[in-house]
Structure 1
Amino acid sequence: MHLCQELPPCLLSPAAPTKSPYPAEEMHGRSEWESRGVVRDERGEIRSSAAENESGYDVEDVNSMEKVILEYAAMDRELNHYMKAIEETVNQLKQEKPENIPDLKYLVKEKFTALESKNSDSDLEKNEKYMYFKDQLKEMRKQFRLQSDNNDNDAIEQIDEDIAVTQSQVNFICPITQVEMKKPVRNKVCGHSYEQDAILKIIQTRKQQKKNVRCPKIGCSHDDVKESDLVPDEALKRAIDSQNKQSWSTL
C-alpha cells in the first residue's frame, strides 16, 4: 500500500492556524488589520498604511503595526514548522519502512516541538513580511526628511528617539497584564519574564482545570510553565527601577 494512503487526512491536509493572519471579519467597513494600520496591496503583500501618509507618522501607530507584523511572522513560522514536521515524518517512514505504522500524530508532534524549541525573537525579524515593513518605514522616513525644513528634521529626530525609548521599554512590559512589571519573575526554561502575581494566578487557575500553562510571550513554544521554574528576575527589576529614577529626575 502506498505510504500516503496510510497517513490520516489530518496530516496530509494540515489545519490552518487557529488565528488567521488575514481575518475575514469586517469592522466598520474595514478588516481588523486595516483598522490597525496594516493593509494588503494588489499583490497580497502586507504594507503599512502610514507609509502612504507622511503626516500620519506616529510612534504609537508604528509600534502597533510592528507588533501585528511580528504576530503574523510567529504564526507563519509555526505553520512552516508544522509542514516541515509532516514532511520529515513522511520521509522517515519511507526510509525505515516499518512493518507496523507508528503513531503518526506523536511523531509529527515530536518533530514539531523540536523545531519550535529552537525559536528565537531574531527569527521573526528575518521574516519576509517584517523586512518589507521595515524597508517601507525607512523609505517613509527618507522621503519625509527630504521634504522637511530644519525644524521638521528636529521633530523627526525627536520621534526617532521616542521610538528607541519605546522599543527599549518593550521588555519591561508584562505579556499578560500589558503594563510595566513591578515584581518580574523569569522562566528558567524559555527565558521570558512576567509579572509575578499575574503568572501565578494563571498557573493556579489552569492547575484547577488540570491543564498546562503555555508561555504568554508571543511566539514562544513552551507549553508547560510551572511555578517551580520561576525565579525573581533581579536584573530586569534593577533596569526598570533605574529607568523610572531617570524619568523622575528629568521632570
Structure 2
Amino acid sequence: MSLSAITATLSSLKSCQGDIQTGMDIVTDVAMDLAEAQDIEVNPDIKELEAMMLECAKLDREINYFVDVVQQVTSEVATQQSEAMFGLSAKVREQFTERIARLSDAELHNHQKVAAFKESIKNSFNQANQGSADNLEELDEDIAVTQSQSNFTCPLTQVEMENPVKNKKCNHHYDEKAILGLIRTRHGQKKKCRCPVVGCGNTDVKESDLILDQMLRRKIQIQKRNSNRT
C-alpha cells in the first residue's frame, strides 16, 4: 500500500468519525425527550441510550488512537527504504494494541459528548420537574416567548450557531467550529486566544475550557423549526 492510499484511508476514517459524533447528538436529543417526560432514575431507555453513547465514545477514541499511530508510523518509514513498508501493517497493529491495552473504559465518561449527554439529561429532567416544559410542544411555546432573551448568534461568525459550546470560565457561547479554528490559529501564531465577546476579560480561551451545550443547540433547532412553519 502506498503512503497516498494510507492518507486516503485515514481521511475516510475521519469522515466516519464525524458521522459517529452526529449520531451521538441524535441519541442525546432522543434522551432529552425521554427525560422531559419521565423520571430518569427509573427509565431503562435512558440507561440504554447512555450505554450507546459510551460505545460510540469508545469507537471515537479508538479511531483517534488508530489515526495517531498510523501517522506516527508512516512518518517514521517515509524516510526509509521502500522495504520498510512491508512491515508497516504489523508495526501499526502492535503499537495500536499496546495503546488500547493501557486505556480504561472509565475514561469514556469524560468524553466531551458523553459529559454533554449527562448534563443535558440532568437539565431536561430538572426543567420537566419545574413544570417549564411537560412536552416538546409546550417547550416550543416557551422558546417562542423567550427566544428574544436568548442569544443564538456566534460572536465570531455573527450568524446563528450550529453546535454551540460554552466556555466554563466566562460562560460565553460560540459556534464550536469557529472557536476551535480561532484557538488553533492563535496557537499557530504562538499567541493566546482572547474571548471574542466584547468586554470579556478572559484572555486565554483553551479547547479544554469548552463544553458542548446540547440544551442551547436544541433551542436553536426548535427556533429554526418554528421559523420554517411561519
Q: Given the two structures, how large is their TM-score scaled by the length of structure 1? A: 0.41
More helix by percentage: 2
Question: Could you say which structure has the greater relative contact order, defined with CA pairs below 8 angstroms and 6 or more residues apart?
Answer: 2
